[in-house]
Each structure stands twice: as structure tokens, then as C-alpha cells.
């Protein structure tokens, strides 16, 4: 999913936006770099140190939940994401036994496009 987000965001904003890929594992980070991220880092410390400096954090809602994504999201990661003053744009995707009521089930490309449009609005409001 991260690679899809990076691809769509990169297509919309080009070089005007620095995209930093923060993966919970090395494969995810590598895929996001391949999709066009400017920089990438992996793991708890990288995520905890980097999200506080971000203007915007984009990803699945599960990045805010300790032990989510089959245990890859640690409590410290979830706390760092939820505590950052950065705008958070979260897609209603989860591998957990959790249901987000009030959201429409859409294919990933549709959700990513909606996220990119929200990013555009955030950029315009700055």
C-alpha cells in the first residue's frame, strides 16, 4: 500500500514535495523507494524520530494502533504517529478484527486517490 501511495502522491506533486518512506519492515521501505520516495528508513526508531518532523503522515489507520499490522506497529510507533502535530491522512484499511463504521468499502486505488486529493487541500491551506 505504501508504494501505491508514494506513486500517486509523486505523480500529483512531482518534485515539489519531499516524500519520506517510513516502513515497518525493510521490504515495505524498499518498495516505497522503488515507487519514487526521496528517502527511506525502517523500523521503530526511524518512525518515532521522523514523524515528529513531518508536515503530513499518510497511511492506513492501523498505524495509530499498538500491535497492529500483525504486530509490526509497536506502541511507541503508534504513540509517535498519534502525537505528532502533523496532519494525518488515514486510509480505513486494517488487518485487525476491527470494523470502521461509517466508511465505504472502496478499492485501494480509489482510497489512495481520495487521500491525494486531501493532501492537495492541506497543501493549498498552508
- Assess if residue 16 is contained within a domain: yes
User: 112 is written with which cell numbers?
Assistant: 489512495
What does the alpha-carbon distance between residue 51 and residue 83 come to, in Å, rounded to a whole number?
9
The pLDDT tens digits along the chain (126 residues) read 999 999 999 999 999 999 999 999 999 999 999 999 999 999 999 999 999 999 999 999 999 999 999 999 999 999 999 999 999 999 998 777 888 888 888 899 999 999 999 999 998 886
- Assess if residue 126 is contained within a domain: no
- Residue range(s) defining the domain that contains residue 93: 2-117
- Assess if residue 42 is contained within a domain: yes
- Assess if residue 11 is contained within a domain: yes
- Assess if residue 44 is contained within a domain: yes
Three-state DSSP state, 119:
helix
User: 32 is written with which cell numbers?
Assistant: 516505497
* Count of structural domains, the chain: 1
Amino acid at each position: 500500500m505504501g508504494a501505491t501511495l508514494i506513486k500517486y502522491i509523486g505523480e500529483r506533486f512531482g518534485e515539489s514535495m519531499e516524500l519520506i518512506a517510513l516502513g515497518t519492515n525493510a521490504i515495505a521501505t524498499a518498495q516505497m523507494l522503488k515507487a519514487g520516495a526521496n528517502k527511506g528508513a525502517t523500523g521503530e526508531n526511524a518512525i518515532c524520530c521522523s514523524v515528529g518532523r513531518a508536515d503530513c503522515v499518510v497511511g492506513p489507520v492501523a498505524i495509530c494502533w499498538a500491535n497492529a499490522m500483525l504486530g509490526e506497529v509497536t506502541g511507541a510507533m503508534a504513540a509517535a504517529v498519534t502525537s505528532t502535530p502533523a496532519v494525518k491522512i488515514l486510509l480505513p484499511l486494517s488487518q485487525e478484527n476491527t470494523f470502521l463504521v461509517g466508511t465505504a468499502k472502496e478499492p485501494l486505488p480509489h482510497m489512495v486517490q481520495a487521500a491525494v486529493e486531501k493532501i492537495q487541500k492541506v497543501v493549498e491551506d498552508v
